């Protein structure tokens, strides 16, 4: 009896740990990220991005198939602490090009999509593909709590982990909660850290 109890406690602990790995700061986290200079980050990204994007494309999400043809708003991949100490990029479709120049109080137009891909580089120099995170501005009334943003997370194997409009919508709850802390005035966007943005005038 006692061993049965112990077993169920262990099982529960195991389940809790498994769930926990999907918690916001854990799910994305990398224990020992390498600190790369911008050129090295770009080289690391270049090594894996084609294969990585090919897998995202198998998700069936239309944006995942085309995002690399969009404007990349950052010059080089930059380290994102919140998105798991990974080197990230933001790509924007045409309606979302105001992303780089959004002023407080302005909102992104309906139809805007921001795609954030990511790679991680560990201290041994190994480059691993990260996830693809998407935000899409839907029609007014889609989700007032989320300021009508649809959130999607596609895992490196091309499976959809969560989609506000599809599989596991509840799995986007932590996206909504954290992005809401950016504030309504910023349209729930954190924008890019200083210094990484490509000049808005560089947009073709």
Among 48, 114, 119, 121, contact with ligand HEC (rule: CB under 6 A): 114
Contacts of 155 (CB under 8 A, 6+ apart): 131, 161
From the CB of 23, what's the least distance to ligand HEC, in Å?
9
Distance, in Å, from the CA atom of 148 to the CA atom of 18, rounded to the nearest integer, reads: 30
Residue from 132, 136, 148 nearest 99 by CA: 136
Buried b (16+ CB within 10 A) or exposed e, 82-101: ebbbbbbbbbbbeebbebbe
**Contact set for ligand HEC, span 78-97 (CB under 6 A):** 80, 82-83, 88, 90
From the CB of 142, what's the least distance to ligand HEC, in Å?
15
The label of the residue with tokens 């997370």 reads: 153
**Contact set for ligand HEC, span 127-156 (CB under 6 A):** 133-135, 151-153
**Is residue 190 a contact point for ligand HEC (CB under 6 A)?**
yes
Residue from 141, 150, 143 nearest 175 by CA: 150
Q: Kindly indicate which of the ranges 32-40, 51-59, 63-71, 183-191 contains the residues binding ligand HEC, using the contact rule CB under 6 A.
A: 183-191
Residue ranges in contact with ligand HEC by CB under 6 A: 24, 80, 82-83, 88, 90, 114, 116, 133-135, 151-153, 172, 174-175, 178-179, 189-191
């Amino acid at each position: 009896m006692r061993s049965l109890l112990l077993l169920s406690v262990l099982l529960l602990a195991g389940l809790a740990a498994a769930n926990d790995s999907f918690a916001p700061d854990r799910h994305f986290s990398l224990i020992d990220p390498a600190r790369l200079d911008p050129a090295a980050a770009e080289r690391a990204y270049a090594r894996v991005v084609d294969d990585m994007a090919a897998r995202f494309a198998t998700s069936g999400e239309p944006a995942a198939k085309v995002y690399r043809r969009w404007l990349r708003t950052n010059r080089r991949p930059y380290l994102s602490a919140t998105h798991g100490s990974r080197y990230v990029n933001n790509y924007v479709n045409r309606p979302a090009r105001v992303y780089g120049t959004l002023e407080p109080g302005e909102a992104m137009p309906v139809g805007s999509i921001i795609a954030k891909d990511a790679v991680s580089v560990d201290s041994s120099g190994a480059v691993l593909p990260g996830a693809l995170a998407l935000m899409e501005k839907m029609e007014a009334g889609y989700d007032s709590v989320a300021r009508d943003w649809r959130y999607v997370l596609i895992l490196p194997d091309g499976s959809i982990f969560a989609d506000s409009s599809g599989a596991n919508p509840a799995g986007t709850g932590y996206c909504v909660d954290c992005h809401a802390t950016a504030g309504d005035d910023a349209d729930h966007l954190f924008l890019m850290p200083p210094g990484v943005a490509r000049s808005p005038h560089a947009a073709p």
